[in-house]
Amino acid sequence: MGLRYNIARILSRLGCSLTVVPCTASTREILSLKPDGVVLSPGPGDPALLDYLIENIKALLDKVPIMGICLGHQLIGKAFGAETFKLKFGHRGGNHPVRDIETGRVYITTQNHGYAVASEGLRDGLEVSHINLNDNTVEGFRHKELPIISIQYHSEGSPGPQDNVYLFERFLDIVGERKNS
């Protein structure tokens, strides 16, 4: 998957020490690094062609907090049984309104993807956390019990004055809770 350098910059600015691994890294290799959390980064790619990653993601689900962004979000959805589909026009650009269901707040987001996750197949405790207000597609998940969150859009894209950095802070809160339990 692709690394967006602003993801690394934001996490570093928030006090994280980062290790970047390729998408071909095995679960064993990832866990041998003893990560406090794992961020599944954006694409590119059609999530339907990346089933080889799903087993690794499934193996990590109950072992370490996970945050998925864009393609990482889609792969988490697939790991929980959801299907992905090609959007008619794709979501491109920096003016997509997304509602955080928990807070009700609407964020203007940066997006660059041609696929989305169908909400109908979600199961095993994964629930929708964010919705695109233009077309009602799923823009985020959270798990009811496991330390997992994901978003379809690019929180690191800074469409406004760091509007979506709160998601990284939310993920780091989950990581901290897990470390303290």
Considering 73, 96, 143, 156, which one is annotated as catalytic? 156
Collapsed DSSP state (helix, strand, coil) of residue 78? helix
Concerning whether 154 is annotated as a catalytic residue, the answer is yes
Collapsed DSSP state (helix, strand, coil) of residue 126? strand
Considering 70, 73, 96, 130, which one is annotated as catalytic? 70
CA atoms within 13 A on the CB side of 108: 8
d(CA 69, CA 148): 12
Concerning whether 156 is annotated as a catalytic residue, the answer is yes
DSSP 21-52: --TT--HHHHHHT--S-EEE----S-GGG-HH
Specify the DSSP element, H or E, that contains 172. Answer: helix 166-180
Both structure tokens of 76: 């988490």
CA max distance for the chain: 44
Specify the DSSP element, H or E, that contains 76. Answer: helix 71-79
Concerning whether 16 is annotated as a catalytic residue, the answer is no
d(CA 57, CA 111): 23
**Could you give the residue numbers annotated as active site?**
70, 154, 156
